[in-house]
Chain A
């Protein structure tokens, strides 16, 4: 059989907790990435976490008042007056691209990071990653047997995630 390279594929997913520990990894498409050992994956997670933290501080200065050391958060100009808004979190590294794959990072409000390895031609990765986050919120966070910040071992999450990614990969 002729091996045809799929033009748009989601290869793998990694979830990193807010301390930089790897709590979930799943490969969806064997041919996409070379296999690396669990140890290397843990190093990758930790390193990415550190790099992300530094890149978040590299952010161009958006708010001169805050940069000048004034602690009071300036109101968001887009918000209606009189309503206190939470300042935008500093975003940090979001996309990392190589010749053969693209790594998209989604950082949640609580600091959990979702890393999705996809083909470079994959479109709408941000939509996919938000849906993955939704699945995580549903099937991991609402599971009474899941302990926070610990590795994710939830059958329902695995099942729903696999069927969702399979649907995307077969498109």
Chain B
């Protein structure tokens, strides 16, 4: 109920226009303050940090926070595509290119820096999306006793949401690979490891795509 005092409900703007009243197709790029986002994200991490049992639990919570964003973002971005390319991506490669391009462009204002297939023959279901300096980690210094943690797990959750929404169930994790040695060009380099589930590859094989 808008304007009801004393209740713990969402507050609505006084003119009654929420974000849902805005038209979906917005052509111009809308930018937000990076500082406000940094503070918000910092609080999200602190919130996720409460009552966690370990680092993987914390990453999992961040992942869960991002997941619904990804599912919704897929629909929104497809609606905004030109009508002839509004179909959802149907192959793994098309999906990953969509994430690398459209999704990253929408979220961070630039495409991801790289896209690779796992070179290990035992894991043909793994793909890597590479981001040299993730926006969410711009101001985050992970303490030494938690050096396995990457707060980009939130972004991994968004990517996972996009994959799940496009019917490519996957598990996405974020790993910081930079910062090992002094004077590196990208100390915050992060890899998003996309591990698709078995049935996705099975379907891909049946359709005869992705055989190289």
Contact = CB atoms under 8 A, between A and B. Distances in A.
B139 A145 contact: no
Interface in B23-42: 35, 38-39, 41-42
B143 A144 contact: no
B18 interface: no
Contacts of A159: 187
B140 A156 contact: yes
A167 to B, nearest CB: 14
A138 B139 contact: yes
A155 B141 contact: yes
A159 B187 CA distance: 10
Contacts of A155: 141-142, 179
Contact-size category for B: 20 to 34
Interface of A: 138-139, 142-146, 153-157, 159
A144 B154 CA distance: 14
Interface of B: 35, 38-39, 41-46, 49, 139-144, 146, 151, 179, 187
Nearest to A139: B139
A155 to B, nearest CB: 4
A156 B139 contact: yes
B62 to A, nearest CB: 11
A142 B143 CA distance: 14
8 contacts: A142-B42, A142-B139, A142-B140, A144-B41, A144-B43, A144-B49, A145-B141, A155-B141
